[in-house]
Amino acid sequence: MEVYLDNSATTRVMDEVARLVVEIFTKDYGNASSMHKKGVSAERYIKYAKETLSKIMKVKDKEIYFTSGGTESDNWALMGAAYANMRAGRHLITTQIEHPAILQTMDYLERQGFEVTYLPVSEEGIVSLEALKKALRPDTILVSIMQVNNEVGAIQPIEEAAELIKKHNPQTLFHVDAVQGFGKLPMYPKKWGVDMVSVSGHKIHGPKGVGILYIREGVKIRPIIYGGGQQKNYRSGTENVPGAAGLAKAAEILYRHLDEDRERLYELRSYFTHELLQMDDVRINGPISEGAGAAPHIVSASIEGIRSEVLLHALEERNIFVSAGSACASKKHTISATLQAMKIEQSLLDSTIRFSFSVFTTKEELDYTLKTLREVIPMLRRYKRY
């Protein structure tokens, strides 16, 4: 049996999505900017993608812009908005547990003369609204908070944060990195008061190399990629037609069954976390349950006495695939900034594994994983950690 529990790193492309992408690559392969019928056919897919995604998010299709993925969307939202609005102020706010695409961009902007406030989080990994309220200033031009933390699955209070921000200053922009939330949770930016939203295709069973940035009409933002003037001069570059259509098709399928899929994932997550907690010296990081703010698809577990890299490879030998924290940092052997911000004990920082589910995950796969963990954990603990 092969068990893939690393869906927060990337997901298997849905069969229907793969068929659509191949058809575009091989038959409707025209450039969407070309004026001949091949180009017109390609442009129809872009139109379909925008209409589909805007309907899901309840926004205008002209507010959807295609990018190369979540990282570019995050970079564009932060740099584009910061530079376009710097006359109004140079103060930015984010949290201590954001994805590196946010944190490293904020670091860059600090070096360009902007000031950044990093909000603390609770022991469950949820941002402090009180800290946000205190951090807002007259010169705050942008706030960026993720919808779901990619390591521990903590759902952030986006609607409440938006209300605070807009009450303080309606001109302060609010960006949400929804890469881990989109496709699992609702996302209604206009209703909630969110100005920009980042989404990635390969996290929702779509293709790699494509994402979107929702930009509310009227938001001042600069391009960060220049060239042929595509997408109303905001994001140049030949449109990734198969990527855009594939992302939209995956989103269309997921949101068609969102409620039932989410309920089933929460049942699997509840079962899995309960069984993990029956094991000796295993703790769950982040919210335990749906009511406490847990996303349906991510479980972060610290297994005392075993380095995460060792356990990861032990599971891999038995055809079970997981992550040692975020996939973007797992090859660098860095200590998780998220776990540090949550004040996880030092001894557990490099003993943490992330299990992440998808709509394809089954109880049989989780049972096999639990059985394997019960076998390998005692065995690995017989060896010294260092």
Q: Is residue 153 part of a domain?
A: yes
How much is the average pLDDT of 280-294?
A: 95
Q: Which of 185, 219, 288, 328 is catalytic?
A: 328
Half-sphere exposure of 217 (CA within 13 A, CB side): 6
**Beta strands 298-303; 282-285: pairing state:** antiparallel
pLDDT for res 383: 74
Are residues 360 and 308 part of one domain?
yes
Domain that holds residue 373: 3-11+258-381
User: For residue 134, what is the domain's CATH number?
Assistant: 3.40.640.10
Model confidence at 325: pLDDT above 90? no
pLDDT in tens, 225-249: 999 999 999 999 999 999 999 999 9
Q: Is residue 352 part of a domain?
A: yes
Q: How confident is the model at residue 107 (pLDDT cuts 50, 70, 90)?
A: very high
- Contact in structure between 330 and 316 (CB atoms under 8 Å): no
pLDDT for res 330: 47
Model confidence at 339: pLDDT above 60? yes
CB atoms within 10 A of CB 140: 22
Are residues 273 and 239 part of one domain?
no
Are residues 349 and 262 part of one domain?
yes
Are residues 283 and 227 part of one domain?
no
Residue 108, C-beta contacts closer than 8 angstroms, at least 6 positions apart: 79
Residue, of 385 and 224, whose pLDDT is higher: 224
Q: Is residue 386 part of a domain?
A: no
Are residues 126 and 247 part of one domain?
yes
**179 vs 202: CA distance, rounded Å:** 9
Amino acid at 350: D
How much is the average pLDDT of 85-93?
A: 98
How much is the average pLDDT of 316-335?
A: 74
Give the range among 32-41, 173-182, 215-224 with minimum mean pLDDT. 32-41
pLDDT for res 386: 45
pLDDT in tens, 374-383: 999 999 998 7
Whether the full predicted model's pTM is greater than 0.85, yes or no, is yes
Q: Is residue 243 part of a domain?
A: yes
Percent of the chain with pLDDT over 70: 97
Are residues 251 and 147 part of one domain?
yes
Model confidence at 190: pLDDT above 70? yes
Are residues 148 and 281 part of one domain?
no
pLDDT for res 331: 53
294: helix, coil or strand? strand
Domain boundary residue, one of 256, 281, 298 = 256
Give the range among 309-313, 322-326, 358-362 with minimum mean pLDDT. 322-326
Domain boundary residue, one of 256, 280, 301 = 256
DSSP strands (E only) in 140-210: 140-144, 173-177, 196-200
How much is the average pLDDT of 60-84?
A: 98
How much is the average pLDDT of 330-343?
A: 78
User: For residue 302, what is the domain's CATH number?
Assistant: 3.90.1150.10
Tell me what percent of the chain is helix, strand and coil, each rounded to the nearest 5.
Answer: 40, 15, 40
Amino acid at 299: V
What domain count does the chain have? 2
Q: How confident is the model at residue 340 (pLDDT cuts 50, 70, 90)?
A: very high
pLDDT in tens, 127-143: 999 999 999 999 999 99
What is the per-residue DSSP string for 119-138? E-B-TTS-B-HHHHHHH--T
Domain boundary residue, one of 194, 226, 256 = 256
pLDDT for res 335: 76
Model confidence at 371: pLDDT above 70? yes
C-alpha dist (Å) from residue 37 to 26, 34, 44, 169? 15, 8, 11, 48
Are residues 150 and 236 part of one domain?
yes
Task: For CA atoms 340, 119, 58, 211, give the dihedral sign.
Answer: negative
**142 vs 144: CA distance, rounded Å:** 7
Model confidence at 87: pLDDT above 60? yes
Are residues 284 and 192 part of one domain?
no
Are residues 166 and 314 part of one domain?
no
Q: Is 328 one of the annotated active-site residues of the chain?
A: yes
Model confidence at 385: pLDDT above 60? no
Q: Which residues pair with 4 in a beta bridge?
A: 321
Q: How confident is the model at residue 353 (pLDDT cuts 50, 70, 90)?
A: very high
Are residues 373 and 247 part of one domain?
no
Percent of the chain with pLDDT over 90: 93
**98 vs 198: CA distance, rounded Å:** 13
Count Cβ neighbours within 10 Å for each residue of 98-107 and write b for 16 or more, e otherwise. Answer: bbbbbbebbe
Model confidence at 157: pLDDT above 70? yes
Mean of the per-residue pLDDT values for the chain? 95
φ, ψ for residue 67 (rounded to 5)? -130, -175
Are residues 80 and 206 part of one domain?
yes
pLDDT for res 21: 98
Q: Is residue 228 part of a domain?
A: yes
